[in-house]
Amino acid sequence: MDIGLPGIDGLELIRRVRRRGVLTPVLILTARDGLDDRVVGLDVGGDDYLVKPFLLPELLARVRALIRRSRAAASLVLAVGPLSLDVQRHSAMLGAVALELTGREWNVLEQLVIAVPRVVAKQKLADSLSQWDKEITPNAVEIYVSRLRTKLAGSGVGIRTVRGIGYRVEVEAGDAPAP
């Protein structure tokens, strides 16, 4: 999280995220290097604070440490109808059946389930799939969504397209399997 975001202060965004109960680790990356800045950043909900400029090995080490600490926390299971995602174990289930997903399919589905009932912008999904050296286009996101729709078919959970904006996961009325 950068503190100097356009449109909203990064610290305020962290406050809002924490008020909603989101436990995702937050690493603050900023040029603000004063003691008071670091204390406030950690007090509002940041889990670590790194001052720019920084070297990539230090950033990666801090991210690994945040991941280690977050794994020590209780398992987080997200559910929408019969679909459940165990974030810690990186597993997905449709009822009692394991759902086989590629890494990118998992990433898209996890973001959509975390956002329920909100819409996730196609560009946000593309950005999250992009790596430092490779960029994913919004058209590629359509491929992953199509694959997920096939895997979710008949389960009672679907991915709805919100034209011009993105996608949303929802329980499909009338299509849910009988209990």
Structural domain boundaries in the chain? 10-72, 77-171
More confident residue, 92 or 178: 92
Asked if the model's pLDDT at residue 171 lies above 80, the reply is yes
User: What is the reported pLDDT for 175?
Assistant: 47
pLDDT tens for each residue of 139-170:
889 999 999 999 999 999 999 999 999 999 99
Q: Is 50 exposed, middle or buried (0-12, 13-18, 19+ CB in 10 A)?
A: middle
Contact by Cβ (8 Å): 26, 16: no
Regarding pTM above 0.85, the answer is: no
pLDDT at position 74? 52
**Higher-scoring residue by pLDDT: 4, 29:** 29
**What are 51's two structure tokens?**
């001052």
Query: Strand 91-94 and strand 83-86: pairing?
Result: antiparallel
Q: Is the CATH number of domain 10-72 3.40.50.2300?
A: yes
Residue 24: pLDDT above 80?
Answer: yes
Query: Could you read off the pLDDT of 53-62 as tens digits, one per residue?
Result: 989 989 998 9
**Distances from the Cα of 65 to the Cα of 18, 48, 71, 104, 119, angstroms:** 20, 10, 10, 23, 31
Lowest mean pLDDT among 25-34, 103-112, 131-140: 131-140
The CATH fold of domain 77-171:
Arc Repressor Mutant, subunit A (1.10.10)
Counting residues of the chain whose pLDDT is more than 70, the rounded percentage is 92
Residue 6 has pLDDT above 90, yes or no: no
pLDDT-derived band at 137 (thresholds 50, 70, 90) equals confident
Q: Decide if pLDDT at 177 tops 50.
A: no
The per-residue pLDDT for 92 is 94
Residue 81: phi, psi to the nearest 5? 55, -130
Same CATH topology for 10-72 and 77-171? no
90-129 confidence digits (pLDDT tens): 899 999 999 999 989 998 999 899 889 999 999 888 887 8
Q: Hey, what amino acid is at 65?
A: A
